[in-house]
Amino acid sequence: MKLKKIISAVSAALCLFSAVPAAAYCVDTPQSGEQLSDGTFYYELINGTYTITSCNPEAVFEELPELRNGYAVTAIADKAFANCTYISKLTIPDTITEIGSSAFAGCTSLKKVTLPSRLKVMTDGIFMGCTNLSSIEIPDSVNTIESYAFYNCSVLTDVKLPGELSTIEPMAFAECSSIESFDVGDGKSYVFEDGILYNSSKTNICRASAKLTGDVYIPNGVTTVDAGAFSVCAGIENLFLPTSLTHIGDDAFGYCVKLKSIDFSEGLTTISPVAFKNCTSLETLDFPTTLREIGDGAFFNCTSLERVIIPEGTETIGEGAFVNCSSLAKAGIPKSVTSVGNNAFGFELNDSGEYVPKEDFDLSVFTKSAGAKYAKENKISASSVDKDLKSLAFLIIAAGLILAAAVFAVVLMAKSRKSASLSAKKAKKLAKEKEEEENYKKILD
């Protein structure tokens, strides 16, 4: 009897304290890919550890588990907690080393997060749309912050960047309307000066403080304004761009609602899609001759825009580039443009989101050009610039011919007068010589 009790006790101890191979004799070993639920979280066993794949969207919790069934929880899948609006505070254990894309996107009640100390990457969209996230401590282990990681975290104000950080992808902090400053600490990859976060060489602007106001001068040496860099900087009024700048990224100045003017310098080649969307105070655009591309929706809903000068040399105008520019009555498309996207000019969006032609809009185009083709296909009123130029050239040539004829007549008259004067002088000379000769004869006689 005693022996049976001893054997039972030893077996129980083995089940509790032995290594995993011994545990296999005590319980059924989960198979890779097997799913599990504890009522709050759903898991999947992958390569010997659990990944949290989703959660009960109505569950209330503040911590994630480290272990399940004796196996470590090491990862969070893509969109695992997306739109879980009951989470307000969360601690993620150090066992977790990977967090998937958009894992906490749309968690609109989430205010504070403690991240695991071994996390390497803040994946794309990880906290996108967490509109109440006011505090986050990014661990020193993080070396990359991917696109849209904190997109539209509208109450996030100050961010401390880890010392090992080497990459912030475009749009990572786009439309963070309250962002004020970045603490770069001892990091060597980024510089924060005068309200602007640059890469270490200061050739790229990654993100600007939303508190910038009035006139903003981008320093010479900057070649690229990254996507989302100045988005929702609502206080900027006048923008001055350097000659070194060649590229303006997507949504770079979106929702700069007080922006009235832009001083474009020669050198800029590309304005990316939706770069200046919803800049509702922007009045005029005088692009540099170096410009080659205007992206899709680049000036969407710039409702105060009245004048646009697109220079010869521009090659591409994207779809909807000037949609909903309700104050724009006229524009010209140069002959160099080879592609004009759908609804680029002369269209507005109605309440149903449909494109409708804008009344009293006129395009100046060249015959047989991409602009003329666009106007014809979209039934937009257009005037042919080259025909007017031919008429003007004819008038100039005709005026030139008349002027040349008048000059020629004056010259002829001058020559005639000169010839007449010479003839008279010659005749007078001959008469005088004849008179002198006759007098000489008389003296001799």
Which residue is associated with the tokens 């040496």? 221
Q: CB neighbours (10 Å) of residue 279?
A: 26
The residue among 26 and 139 whose pLDDT is bigger is: 139
Lowest-confidence segment of 24-28, 84-88, 280-284 by average pLDDT: 24-28
Examine the pLDDT at 128 and tell me if it is beyond 70: yes
pLDDT (average), residues 62-80: 96
Domain spanning 31-188, CATH class? alpha beta
pLDDT in tens, 245-256: 999 999 999 999
What pLDDT does residue 392 have? 43
pLDDT class of 29 with cuts at 50, 70, 90: low
pLDDT class of 430 with cuts at 50, 70, 90: low
> Model-level pTM?
0.80
pLDDT in tens, 369-418: 999 999 999 999 999 887 544 444 444 444 555 555 555 555 555 555 54
Map the chain to HEC letters: CHHHHHHHHHHHHHHHHCCHHHHCCCCCCCCCCCEEECCCEEEEEECCEEEEEEECCCCCCCECCCEECCEEEEEECCCCCCCCCCCCEEECCCCCCEECCCCCCCCCCCCEEECCCCCCEECCCCCCCCCCCCEEECCCCCCEECCCCCCCCCCCCEEECCCCCCEECCCCCCCCCCCCEEECCCCCCEEEECCEEEECCCCEEEEECCCCEEEEECCCCCCEECCCCCCCCCEEEEEECCCCCCEECCCCCCCCCCCCEEECCCCCCEECCCCCCCCCCCCEEECCCCCCEECCCCCCCCCCCCEEECCECECEECCCCCCCCCCCCEEECCCCCCEECCCCCCEEECCCCCEEECCCCEEEECCCCHHHHHHHHCCCEEEEHHHHHHHHHHHHHHHHHHHHHHHHHHHHHHHHHHHHHHHHHHHHHHHHHHHHHHHHHHHHC
- Euclidean distance between CA atoms 393 and 272, whole angstroms: 37
Domain ranges of the chain: 1-30, 31-188
Examine the pLDDT at 14 and tell me if it is beyond 70: no
What pLDDT does residue 424 have? 56
What pLDDT does residue 279 have? 98
Degrees (nearest 5) of the Cα angle 179, 185, 188?
105
Q: CB neighbours (10 Å) of residue 280?
A: 17
Average pLDDT of the chain, as a whole number? 86
